[in-house]
Amino acid sequence: MQQVAVTGGGSRAAEWAARFLASGLDVVVDDSTLRDAVAALWPAAQRLGLFPGAALERLRVAAGPADLADAELVQVVAGSVPAQARGLVATESTGRGCSPIHLVPLVEVAGPCAAQLAEFYSSIGMAPVGIDAREHDRWQLGEGLTQLTDGDPDALIAVMRSLRATGKGAGAAMAHHEAMRFAAGAAPPWQAGDAVAAPLALYRTPVEPEWVDYNGHMTEAAYLTAAGWASDALFRYIGDDEAYRAGGHSFYTVETHIHYLLEVDVHEPITFLTQVLGVDAKRVHLIHSMHHGNSGALLCTAEQMLVHVDMRAGRSVAILPQVAEALAAIALAHEHLPTPSQVGSVMRLPPPRI
């Protein structure tokens, strides 16, 4: 889905528009006052995390009813369903979000199109529930969050992030939102016969607000966080996705060497180039080079050794055949690349001068 429409005005319409924009969609509204309202919500949407391509500039005001006809989904907040609507329609009765909608994951779906609506809302990182959902589950995903935080955006995001590791309620919803964001920007998985780029360019992102420290630039730990997401992009490319991990297999990082070269500020674009340096039955040796998305300047390198594990057995095992085939193809495509100077470096003080 590429374009959605929001009809009606007020805070709920603005929240829906902000949610859709943050999900990387084109959004058309029929109330011109929503421009400023959505702009005011945008910083919080950025802190929650933007999908690839998300931008305030993708919001436009309909010149007339006909402008709503091309929308693949019409979210009706107030008034009647537009006669021109040809796509999927959600109303306050069939697709109701919990305010603040641009942050809270809960959306209640009902009616004959409930399954289609649930699929769409899930694809943008929300947590759809049907009419048979337990009241406690609804509370955990919606009203409970707003009660606990008084609806404060920063507190809401902090609580959801703190719950992420629990795999429950809003924590599970936060992990799902994260997975959908990064999957949306992922390259198609490698297939036998595909040409492999050398190096791979699989991950780009703006510097997220929580990655910036008191010095006003990306903090040292965030460089590793970003490199971790670059590894995740590689995993998806080789076929190590949610289904692969559900089968009990994954890659664990056992060693990382980071070189910090330049600073970068909040919201600036960064992009990663990934070079596979070597592969054997159980291990992958690689280096990520992080560049400024506009200038191309090299910001850092992260050299890593990964080991393939059977998570249930708690030990290293051979990489499964399909993923091993993908890695072998990448290693072959990358073997002619020069080895970056940062690879294999040792940290030490120079000998004293005599």
Residue 353: inside a domain: no
Contact yes or no for 316/282 (Cβ under 8 A): yes
Number of domains in the chain: 2
Which residues face 4 on adjacent strands? 27, 73
Q: How confident is the model at residue 209 (pLDDT cuts 50, 70, 90)?
A: confident
Cα of 30 vs its chain's centroid, Å: 29
Contact yes or no for 311/299 (Cβ under 8 A): no
Residue 349: inside a domain: no
Residue 342: inside a domain: no
38-66 pLDDT, tens digit per residue, is 999 999 998 898 998 899 999 999 988 77
Kindly provide the b/e burial profile for residues 282-303, where b requires at least 16 CB atoms within 10 angstroms of the residue's own CB: ebbbbbbbbbbbeeeebbbbbb
Q: Is the same domain home to 304 and 325?
A: yes
Q: Is the same domain home to 244 and 262?
A: yes
Residue 175: inside a domain: yes
Give pTM, 2 decimals.
0.77
Q: Is the same domain home to 192 and 313?
A: yes
Q: Is the same domain home to 161 and 246?
A: no
Q: How confident is the model at residue 333 (pLDDT cuts 50, 70, 90)?
A: very high
Q: Is the same domain home to 161 and 225?
A: no
Residue 70: inside a domain: yes
**Six-digit token string for 97:** 């979000």
For residue 280, the enclosing domain spans 187-334
Q: Give me the CATH number covering residue 316.
A: 3.10.129.10
CB atoms within 10 A of CB 329: 20
Question: What integer pLDDT is reported at residue 242 of this predicted model?
Answer: 83
Residue 344: inside a domain: no
123-140 pLDDT, tens digit per residue, is 999 999 998 999 999 999
Q: Is the same domain home to 128 and 250?
A: no
Last residue of a domain, one of 143, 159, 179: 179
Mean pLDDT of the chain: 93
Q: Is the same domain home to 134 and 172?
A: yes
> HEC states along the chain?
CCEEEEECCHHHHHHHHHHHHHCCCEEEECCCCHHHHHHHHHHHHHHHCCCCCCCHHHEEECCCHHHHCCCCEEEECCCCCCCCCCCEEECCCCEEECCCCCCCCEEEECCCCHHHHHHHHHHCCCEEECCCCCHHHHHHHCHHHHHHHCCCHHHHHHHHHHCHHHCCHHHHHHHHHHHHHHHHCCCCCCCCCCCCCCCEEEEEEECCHHHECCCCCECHHHHHHHHHHHHHHHHHHHCCCHHHHHCCEEEEEEEEEEEECCCCCCCCEEEEEEEEEEECCCEEEEEEEEEECCCCCEEEEEEEEEEEEECCCCEECCCCHHHHHHHHHHHHHHCCCCCCCCCCCCCCCCCCCC
167-201 pLDDT, tens digit per residue, is 889 999 999 998 898 788 778 899 999 999 999 99
Q: Is the same domain home to 216 and 304?
A: yes
Q: Give me the CATH number covering residue 73.
A: 3.40.50.720
Last residue of a domain, one of 179, 199, 232: 179
Positive or negative CA dihedral for 241, 246, 250, 256?
Answer: positive
Q: Which residues contact 128 (CB under 8 A, 6 or more apart)?
A: 107, 108, 109, 117, 118, 121, 122
Contact yes or no for 320/309 (Cβ under 8 A): no
Residue 348: inside a domain: no
Distance from C-alpha of 258 to C-alpha of 168, rounded to nearest angstrom: 33
Phi, psi of 107 (to 5 degrees): -145, 125
Percent of the residues in the chain that have a pLDDT greater than 70, as a whole number: 100
Question: What integer pLDDT is reported at residue 65 of this predicted model?
Answer: 76
> Taking 90 as the threshold, does the pLDDT of residue 70 lie above it?
no
Distance from C-alpha of 292 to C-alpha of 272, rounded to nearest angstrom: 9
